[in-house]
Structure 1
Amino acid sequence: MEPIKIGVVSCSGEDCLGGTISRLATRNILERIRLGESSVTICLPLFIAGGEEERDFAKDYPTITVDGCNKYCARRATEKLSGKVTDTIQVGEIIGEEKATGPALSTRKLTPEHHQMADKVAEEISIKFDRIVEGNFKK
C-alpha cells in the first residue's frame, strides 16, 4: 500500500513570533520527525499567488495548516483556494496567544525556549499526522 501523502501549509507571517514558530515546527516535521515519510510543505505565498500545483495538491490530499496567530491566514487561504483542510493548528493555543503574537524574531536569535515551543507545535502536527494515517484518509 502506498503511503498517504500529507501536505503541511505553514503560516508565512513575518510580523509575530507565532509565524516563526510555525515555520520551525513544520521544518522539524519534514526534516527530522517525519523524515522519509510522504509529507510535503506547501509554500503559502506561492499557493496564494496562483501556484496551481500547490492548490491541486491541497485539493487531492489531506492537508494540515499551521497558523501562527488567530487570524488563521493559512487555513482561510487553503479553504478558499482548494477546499476544506483536514486539520489545523493555531500556535497561540499551544504556546500562549501573548507569546505567539509577540514581536518577530530572527532565527539567528532563537533561544532554547523558542526551540522548545517549536518542538511542542511539531508534536501536535505529528499527532494530527497519526490521526490522518490511522484513519486511512482519502479525499
Structure 2
Amino acid sequence: MTRDVKTVRPDQTAKEAAAFMLEEDAGSMPVSDGDRLVGMITDRDITVRGVAKGHGPDTPVSELMTSDVLCVRDDEDVADVATKMGKAQVRRLPVIDSNEKLCGIVSLGDLSRETDGEPAHQAFDGVSAAGDRHKQQG
C-alpha cells in the first residue's frame, strides 16, 4: 500500500480538491476530518456529478464526496483485499488501522507489484467485469 496519502478536508472546495488531484496525478482522494476518513472524492464526482447538478468550483467537497466508503484494514489478508476490490469494482481502497485512522491506500498496482500476481488478477477480473449500470447519485 501507499502510506504517504494526501487528503482533503470536507470543508475545502471542489477546486482545491481538483488542484490536489492534478498535482498528485490522482483520480481520487480520501476526505479526512483530522486523521479520520470521512469520505472519498473522485475527479468524476467533481466533473460529472458536480457539473451535472450545477455545482461550481467553490462547492464544498462534503457536497460532492461519497461518504459510504468501502475500506480495508491494515491487517487484512491480501487475497481478501483483492476479493473486496473485485466485488466492488474499484481500483483503489483506503486502508484504516484498528483505531479507524487512515493509514494508506492499496491499489491494483500495489497488488501486482507486491504479490505473486494472483490477487491482482483476481481483483482485476472483478474490476473489469461488466457490472450493473452505474448511477451517479450521491
TM-score by length of 2: 0.28
Which structure: greater helix fraction? 1
Higher relative CO (CA 8 A, sep ≥ 6), structure 1 or 2? 1
Task: Return the structure number with greater strand share.
Answer: 2
Q: Name which one, 1 or 2, has greater alpha-carbon Rg.
A: 2
TM-score calculated relative to the size of structure 1: 0.27
